[in-house]
Amino acid sequence: MPVMSKVEAAFCRSAPWRAFTARIVVPWVLRGENLAGEVLEIGSGAGANAAVIAETQPQAQITATDLDPTMVTAARARLERYGTRATVAEADSTRLPFDDDHFDAAVSLLMLHHVIDWEAAIHELARVVRPGGRVVGYDLIATAGARVLHLADRSPHRLLSRSELDRQLTTSGFQDVDVTPALGGLVARFHATVRASPNE
């Protein structure tokens, strides 16, 4: 799984991104849902999103993960003030180092397109989130604008379409899948519930 470009990494550590995340991104993604229990964030970068979740979701115990050691170090420093309510781990989202049904919920915020095998990351979310648990997030959609942006900074990526995201969530074991485009189709917000096994 590739890491972010230097340009993207610097942006994700910036004050404007932290402010935008706190005021706009996380509330828009959650859409009024409350996160509680063990909550996983994949591709957490420098921990800006995880910090907002820790601040606004008092019932959540957040585990922030990223593959990039630099981002993991930055996230640990940012989340240290939350004590045991927030932990950070270096992890590949396509091979998460957690047991099946470990988390009550998970979030993925603008990171799937950085994972070349993003289908495997979605499958892993279905594995580590318990049946009935929620997965929420958003990502860039394969548009001309998104392609130009990533060609300009040369970051490794594989953009996804709305239909591909919807289909992969469903085939990976999710139900109540809702993939909604926004910003003129540049991004899509998604919500889904892990399907219970037939024996449950």
Residue 169, both tokens? 């969530």
Where do the domains of the chain lie, and which CATH numbers do they carry?
A: 6-194 (3.40.50.150)
So what's the pLDDT on residue 186? Answer: 84
Residue 94, both tokens? 């396509």
- Tell me which long-range contacts 27-35 makes (C-beta under 8 A, separation of at least 24): 27/56, 28/138, 28/189, 29/107, 29/109, 29/136, 29/137, 29/138, 29/189, 30/136, 31/136, 31/189, 31/191, 33/134, 33/136, 33/191, 34/59, 35/59, 35/60, 35/104, 35/105, 35/107, 35/134
Convert the pLDDT of each residue in 156-176 to its tens digit.
Answer: 667 888 999 999 999 999 999
Please say whether the beta carbons of 122 and 172 come within 8 A: yes
Residue 67 scores a pLDDT above 60: yes
So what's the pLDDT on residue 128? Answer: 98
Convert the pLDDT of each residue in 32-65 to its tens digit.
Answer: 899 999 999 999 998 989 999 999 999 999 999 9
Which position has the token pair 């799984």? Answer: 1
Q: How far is CA 161 from the centre of its chain?
A: 17
Residue 198, both tokens? 């037939």
Confidence category of residue 116, pLDDT binned at 50, 70, 90 = confident
Residue 192 scores a pLDDT above 90: yes
Q: Which helix (H) or strand (E) holds 26?
A: helix 26-30
So what's the pLDDT on residue 104? Answer: 98
Residue 105 scores a pLDDT above 90: yes
Residue 87 scores a pLDDT above 80: yes
Helix (H, G, I), strand (E, B) or coil at 93: coil
The more confidently predicted of residues 10 and 28 is 28
φ, ψ for residue 193, nearest 5 deg: -120, 135
So what's the pLDDT on residue 60? Answer: 97
Q: Pairing relation of β-strands 60-66 and 86-90?
A: parallel
Residue 177 scores a pLDDT above 80: yes
So what's the pLDDT on residue 122? Answer: 97
